[in-house]
Chains A and B, each alone.
Chain A
Amino acid sequence: MFWSKIWFFLIALAATAALALALALPRPAARAQATEEQRRLGVACDVVDILLTDDARNRVEVTGAFARTGTVVSALETASAAEKLDDVRMKQVRSVGEEVVKTIEGRKPDFAILLDRRGRVVANVNIDQDEYGDTLAGRPLVDDALAGYLRDDIWVFNNSMYFVAASPVIKRDATVEYVGAVLLGHKVTNELAQKLAGSVGVDVGFYLAGEPVAQSRSVSFDKATMQKAIGALSSGDPARDCQASKPTPVRAGKENITAIVARLPGEAATKQGYFTIFAAQPVDPGFLGTFKRLTKDDLTGDFPWVLVGGGFVLALAIGIGLMLVETDRPLRRLTADVVKLAKGETERLAEDAHPGKFGSIARSVNIHIDKLGREAKTAKKDLDQLLGPAPEGSLGTIDLLATALPSVRPGGAGPATPPPPSEFRFGDSGSSPARGTPVVPPAATAKTPPPVSFKNIGTQPGVGGGAAPVAAPPPPKPPLPPPPQTGPMAVQKAPPPLRLDDDILGGNAEPSTVGAAPTPPPPAGGYDPYFKEVYDQFIAMKQACNEQTSGLTFEKFADKLVRNRDDLKAKTGCTEVKFTVYVKDGKAALKATPV
């Protein structure tokens, strides 16, 4: 059992380790997923920055093409020469601008502003269309465009954000001359954010001082958290914000989001403009979540089923082997040994032949056998003292106990002849005899009629039918016992060992013996009805054995039984005494058994 226990311990340890591993394994996976998600956000931020830069390049090119349009150049040249601008000129130039805007393919600008060489607004297209005359010179984008540069910027006005591109307008006829500038603006909208989000697979939002301007999906961020993240970037190069920005966990309503922020360039930067790449934080699936995500493909292909199956078979084989070696085989040996003991082939269990606990069981059984032997010997001695030496077949022989005794007893020499087999049988509880119906071994049945149970007495009246006592040939009549002493002195002497049947057969005994019973007979009708049953059985058995019954009265018989019962109770401490009528050596005999 030792190695079996060790093995079970190792199996339990391995199972626990496997369970702990299974519970812990999703965590690094979730951590790796979060890291990967953050990396993905950083990449997405770079991609969005590239897309916006590419978009700016396209917008600048479109603006340059717009500025090179002949009608635009002519209109602004004329406007630049005018000291004052008026409605007529404004509408004429605006009309020119509207026509040119229509020719732009792809995403059209949300507004166009045409400036003269001084930076005055000559006309607005699609925005504040009736206004003109304001000087936009002074804004870096406009100053650069009037000086001859093409560039872009991000403007904020009317609570909106615009990507603005600017280009100088240059007259190229006889003399090359700057005549103005053109600005094209594209509004930052949710559609733009969604388009960007579709390109990178995560959400995109544009903000001014923490307030959303455009988002691919409506999310309300914690303003302070985002401002803090932006503040951490204030010292670096805005162009490298995507690399420098650390993923920021932020709570948006009931949603946990990871966001990367990057400052927007241009004038928007002075108004704390930034864009955010964000995605919901990956949820740690845990053990069950990971289990639910298992697919058939996960368990096929290169899954090491051979290793798993081999491990299982090996563990099972080792466990079964240890059980076989340490439990099953010793148990079978013990069982066989006990069966031999039950059959009387051995008188004790071989303690040394059984290892471990089985040896302990064997020792315990042997100890109990020894105890029973001592108790039986004591009981027999008491019965002998009570009833006198019990020759074979005489009343008082406790046959059952005698059969259980080994041939060699620790307490002394055993009986000369081996005891008959016990009525007890292993593994056949259904055949256990009921009270009052002792089972007679086959050997005994062949020689003597079986004991007559109380029930059998009732169901087998008389001596005629049945296979038991009646079928047996009548045994030879035993010699008469020596005549008992008579007279009062005989009563006072220590009574010789008596046999109940002899006393009961007192019809052949001295009358004085009958009349001089040591104890007064119980009053008529005061005996246990059980004694009457035993008496009737005994009489019937005697008659069956052709014995004389004339001198055997019920009162004498009952007195004997009472004394016998009381003595047995006193000696053995039993609570009841069972009397069994049987035939021994052709004569009716009575057996008393403590219960």
Chain B
Amino acid sequence: MKTINFDHFAATKMRDEVKAAMEPFFTEEYGNAQSIHNLGDAPREALDKARSQAALLFNCASNEVIFTSSGSESNNLAIKGVAFARMAQGKHIIVSSIEHFSVLNAVKSLTKLGFEFTALSVDKDGFVNPDDVKKAMRKDTILVSVTHASNEIGTIQNIKAISEEVHSFGNGAYMHTDANTSCGFIETDVKELGVDMLSAAPHRFYGPKGVGLFYLKKGIRIMPLIDGGVQEFGRRAGTENVAAIAGAGTACELAKNELNKRREHLLPIQKHVIDTVLSSIDEVYLNGSRSNRLPNNVNFVVKYIEGESMLMWLNNSGIMVASGSACTSKILKSSHVLTAIGVDAALAQGSLLISLGEDNTMEDAKYFTEQLPSIVQKLREMSPLYEEAKSSK
């Protein structure tokens, strides 16, 4: 049976070009990039190259790019790094209520050290209102962090307008955006976005796992989370993961060159999935903005049934998807993002999260939309909630 990956937010297949860029640094050019002797030459060159490739994607200077271990680490570096460096100026941080856990749990951890945070509510499509940011700003606000695009519902925020509110408040607060989901699929030009910091995750766009990207604008103060040597301009110590960084650089270059091609490939597939599912199954709802949405994300809630069961039946048909139901969450809580956009807790259990990628075809989308209705029907026939709803009609 064919395996269809409709869960690219979990993992994308590395591109051959990425793998090829990594290969020399495992056994041939295994040197330490910090070495003065010749073994350090090729690794050092690889780091420089990757840094310029990332800088081109972000439209920044090479020395504004820091390599970390993951998108989560980049988010932690932004939140805690700024908090620790600027606690004399203030202890208030603003985030949105639909951030990734690497942002939300980071600010929550900081409350144990006396920091406070405001989690901004979002509208039914998941948008943060820039006016709300302005209203939430305080004299002691040191940082605002809003995700570029939601990793669950795909809604793309108006980061430019939010950044403008943060900077025009005039207290020196910094603006960070988590672009771990958006990078590689829509523009992540830091000048256009107006941000001081940005996080990105190469494994989401055909790069390797084990490496994260962090844009840190020149002049922005952070305290490192990992102290040690001089690596990454002293902002992130530890011997560099040269192979992964080389792969990340190549993934950035591919992203820069292919952004339009990717969008053109994904949009019709996304449209087919959304339109067909909404028209062929009753009481299914699309979450997130229809128009201002990542081209690779689809998020439905299917009434009366539970997401993990749907996920398992789809898996049985060779289709890999994710769900935001409590049962799939591992902490047994349904998606905080669906809660934030006002999806009823019971309905949120029927969450189905699809994330597309370059290996998906229109045939995959058609196969999925053929399989889903009978799976939904099967589970509904087994559901006491469906039975109740039918008998009350």
A and B interact physically: no
Residues of A within 8 A of B (CB): none
